[in-house]
Amino acid sequence: MESVKRHPNLFNKNDSALLVVDYQERFVKVLPDNKNTIENIKFLIHGFNIYNVPVFVSEQVPEKLGHTVQDIKDVVRDAFLFSKKPMSCCGNVEFLGELKKKNIKQIAVCGIEAHVCVQQTTLDLLWHGFQVHVISDAITSRVLHNKGIGIEKMRSAGAIISSVETVLFEMAYEAGNEEFKKLQQLFKNDTRQMMRDA
C-alpha cells in the first residue's frame, strides 16, 4: 500500500527524537512555572516512549548545577545522557554524532532556559540541517518575559513552535492502533489539568 504524502512540517515518529535540555536541580527553585513545566515534560516523554522515539537529555556543567531532576529521570528510559559546557547542545560533538548515526531529521526540543540553552541549541540544530519543533509549553525561563523573547527568536530562525499535545497527536496520525490506544490511556490518566486548576 502506498504511503500517504503529508506536510513536511508535521512531526512524525520516524527519523525523529526528543531533546530535554538542562532541566537540573539547581534551577528548579528559581523557575516561576516549574511544576507545570516538569509535568508537561514528563507527559511528553511518556508519549515519546509509546512510539519508541529516542530521547536525549543534556546537563549543563552538572558538577556545579546538579543533575537532571529526579521527576524527569524517573520517566526517561534508555536516554542518551550527555553533559556540556557550551550553552548549545551542539557544542557536544558526541551528541551531534549520535543524531547523525541514528539518521535523525526532526527534533522536538524542551527544557530550560528558553532564551539561553534552548534557543542556542535550536538555532544550531537548524544550522546543522535539522527540523526543530520547540515545545512551547515544555520550556521555561527564570523570567517569563525572556521565554517569549526566546520563542520569537527561534521562530524567526525557522523553528516550528508546537505544544505537547500537538506533537503527540501528529506522531499518532491515525486512531485505532495499539500505540494510539496507549496514547488515549495516557490522556485519560492526565493529571496536568488538575494541577493547573488547583
Q: List, by residue number, the catalytic residues.
A: 22, 84, 117
User: Which of these, 155, 169, 64, 156, lies nearest to 109 by C-alpha position?
Assistant: 155
Contact 20, 56 (CB under 8 A): yes
Q: Which residues contact 197 (CB under 8 A, 6 or more apart)?
A: none
Query: C-alpha cell of 183?
Result: 496514547
Rounded CA separation 124/95 (Å): 12
